[in-house]
Every structure is written in C-alpha cells, then in structure tokens.
Amino acid sequence: MRNEEPQTRASLRAARQQEAQTQQRQTREAEFEQAPFDDPTSESRRGHRQQTAETGTDAKISRLKHRLNWAIIVVGVLIVLVYLVLFFV
C-alpha cells in the first residue's frame, strides 16, 4: 500500500533530495557525452587560469633568483668591509 513512500517528512525530504541529485547527475552525464573532446578553441577557464598562474609563477621565481643573487653579493661585500675595518682599526 504505502510501503513505497517515506513515512516521515524528513525521509520524504531525503528521498526528494536523492531524486534531484540523481536527475542532476544524469543531466551532467548527458552533457558530458555531448561535449566535444578535440576542439582546441574550447579551453576551459580553469585551464587558462592555471596556465596564466604558471607563467606568473615562473616570472616571480626568476625575479626572486635575481634578488637572491644581489643579496648574496651585498652580504659578501659587507663581510669584507667589516673584516677590513676590524683589521685596520
């Protein structure tokens, strides 16, 4: 008789939510099957963002390497200056 239907509001709500999720999943699967795979012009936003971030990261790393080299040179020169001052004073 009514054994198929949920008995409480919470179970009815859960059953409806599960049905909605199942329907959404089926819709996504259908859209995925229809999507072209080999279209080079359809680059996703996420892919473009990731590629841009990698390019920006490479530039940042290069700039940091340059700054580190200069910092090492400055520290070396300062160490030599301190030894000279200590030696002659």
As a whole-number percent, the residues of the chain with pLDDT over 70 amount to 75
CA distance 64 to 62: 5
pLDDT, tens digit (0-9, with 9 covering 90-100), for 22-64: 999 888 888 877 766 655 555 676 676 667 777 778 888 999 9
Number of Cβ atoms within 10 Å of the Cβ of 6? 13
- Domain-wise residue ranges, the chain: 8-32
Residue 14, C-beta contacts closer than 8 angstroms, at least 6 positions apart: 6
Rounded to two decimals, the pTM is 0.40
Residue 15, C-beta contacts closer than 8 angstroms, at least 6 positions apart: 6
CA distance 78 to 67: 16
Tokens representing 14 are 């859960």
